[in-house]
């Protein structure tokens, strides 16, 4: 098959698609992956840029309405507009047999319809497939069970998507004939790239929704730096990461984490990411190593604990390694995953980022450390999953 994969967002949105692209190509399929321009594409992946730098789109705009509005006008809307057009342009150029896309690629349904090929939606968290058993993963109700009203919460991400209707229509100029199709073909299937160990399948999902397990490469894609490798061999440690979350208070967060880790006899591997953690000078010491990034699959398995923001990719990587966690959600689907990991017994109760203090984090770390046996059991079960093969089986059966 000729498969066009389209994704957007931060590292947690990119790496699952990279894993599927590599696996499908290894099985003999022709695969092209469209993704943001700010991604370092591994050797051997046929990839095209989608004319957007998501680091700029996701950059913290400030808290005032004026700052948020300016960021929307200067970065978010132009970035989305370019990305939606590029996704259509690249899909038409490749002429695939199937289009497989992230929910943010709002122009993918239109492109697939115009080309007369099936499309498959990929969800890394439940945002587009309603269920009465839990609320949509994004939005203000993500951690609250509203019972029979849970299904109504999925209108929030649909409403957010409609904000870009004009940009989708503008992207239609890149279709054959240059006009937006009158209809829209429903997705042939939905691939829920989520582990059933973290989110058991609800009874009301339709049969076309496939809970595949998470998508990941079996081995780290990049080697571990020698300094990092030496540090993780040096005794019990905590890994702290806020990924792409670069909201204010980075120094205060790092100070709180290091202080509480030391109180529990743990060293700290601080992954600064896009700036969400900054180590204060007076917290430095041989028991703390600060690096911008490290292969999670390599540094997490040996950790005693992880403190992270709760993004879908990070949540799955930590849980798959069998490591307990404290989740400090910031935005989007992170509160959902923080609450879900706690329900599944592999993490302490989540701490909203605005409430992160030593007085709150210290007992949460103590709680999480008591969950090591449960986390190890869940990790063993997740490591038996083969999400990319399950996804490929669905695609080849279309």
Q: Give the residues across from 305 on adjacent strands.
A: 238
pTM: 0.91
Give the CATH architecture of domain 226-384: 3-Layer(aba) Sandwich (3.40)
Question: Phi, psi at residue 119, to the nearest 5°?
Answer: -125, 155
Q: Give the residues across from 121 on adjacent strands.
A: 101, 190
pLDDT for res 182: 73
Q: Is 98 helix (H, G, I), strand (E, B) or coil?
A: strand
CATH of region 2-187, choose from 3.30.1490.20, 3.40.50.300, 3.30.200.20, 3.40.50.2000: 3.40.50.2000
For 157, what's the count of Cα atoms within 13 Å in the CB-facing half-sphere? 22
pLDDT for res 4: 98
CA distance 177 to 318: 47
Compute, in degrees rounded to 10, the torsion defined by CA atoms 350, 351, 352, 354. Answer: -170
Using alpha carbons only, give the angle 203, 24, 316 rounded to the nearest 5 degrees.
50
CA distance 11 to 311: 10
Q: What is the pLDDT of residues 73-120, one digit of tens each?
A: 777 788 899 999 999 999 999 999 999 999 999 999 999 999 999 999
Within the chain, which residues score under 70 in pLDDT? 58-68, 71, 139-140, 183, 219-221, 244-247
Q: What is the pLDDT of residues 194-226, one digit of tens each?
A: 999 999 999 999 999 999 999 998 765 677 889
pLDDT for res 127: 93
For 5, what's the count of Cα atoms within 13 Å in the CB-facing half-sphere? 30
Domain ranges of the chain: 2-187, 226-384
pLDDT for res 256: 95
pLDDT for res 266: 97
pLDDT for res 160: 85
Is 261 exposed, middle or buried (CB count within 10 Å of its CB: 0-12, 13-18, 19+)?
buried
For 181, what's the count of Cα atoms within 13 Å in the CB-facing half-sphere? 16
What residue has token string 């063993």?
Answer: 380
pLDDT for res 277: 87
């Amino acid at each position: 098959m000729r498969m066009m994969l389209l994704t957007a967002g931060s590292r947690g949105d990119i790496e699952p698609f990279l894993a599927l692209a590599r696996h499908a190509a290894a099985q003999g399929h022709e695969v092209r992956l469209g993704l943001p321009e700010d991604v370092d594409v591994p050797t051997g992946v046929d990839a095209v840029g989608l004319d957007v730098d998501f680091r700029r789109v996701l950059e913290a705009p400030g808290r005032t309405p004026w700052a948020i509005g300016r960021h929307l006008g200067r970065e978010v809307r132009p970035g989305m507009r370019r990305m939606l057009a590029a996704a259509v342009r690249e899909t038409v150029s490749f002429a695939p047999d199937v289009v497989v896309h992230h929910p943010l690629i709002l122009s993918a349904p239109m492109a697939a319809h115009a080309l007369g090929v099936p499309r498959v939606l990929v969800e890394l968290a439940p945002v587009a497939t309603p269920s009465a058993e839990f609320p949509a993963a994004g939005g203000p109700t993500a951690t609250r069970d509203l019972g029979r009203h849970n299904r109504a919460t999925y209108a929030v991400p649909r409403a957010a998507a409609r904000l870009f209707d004009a940009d989708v229509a503008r992207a239609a100029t890149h279709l054959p004939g240059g006009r937006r199709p009158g209809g829209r073909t429903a997705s042939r299937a939905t691939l829920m790239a989520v582990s059933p160990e973290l989110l058991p399948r609800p009874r009301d999902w339709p049969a076309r929704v496939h809970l595949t397990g998470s998508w990941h490469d079996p081995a780290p894609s990049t080697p571990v730096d020698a300094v990092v490798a030496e540090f993780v061999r040096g005794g019990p440690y905590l890994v702290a990461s806020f990924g792409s979350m670069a909201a204010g208070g980075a120094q205060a967060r790092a100070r709180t984490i290091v202080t509480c880790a030391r109180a529990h006899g743990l060293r700290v591997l601080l992954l600064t990411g896009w700036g969400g953690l900054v180590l204060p000078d007076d917290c430095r010491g041989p028991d703390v190593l600060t690096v911008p990034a490290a292969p999670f699959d390599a540094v997490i398995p040996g950790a005693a604990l992880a403190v992270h923001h709760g993004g879908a990719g990070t949540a799955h990587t930590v849980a798959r390694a069998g490591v307990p966690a404290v989740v400090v959600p910031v935005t989007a689907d992170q509160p959902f995953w923080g609450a879900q990991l706690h329900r599944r017994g592999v993490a302490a109760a989540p701490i909203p980022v605005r409430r992160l203090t030593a007085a709150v984090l210290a007992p949460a770390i103590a709680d999480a450390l008591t969950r090591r046996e449960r986390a190890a059991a869940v990790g063993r079960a997740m490591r038996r999953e083969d999400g990319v093969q399950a996804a490929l089986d669905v695609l080849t059966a279309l």
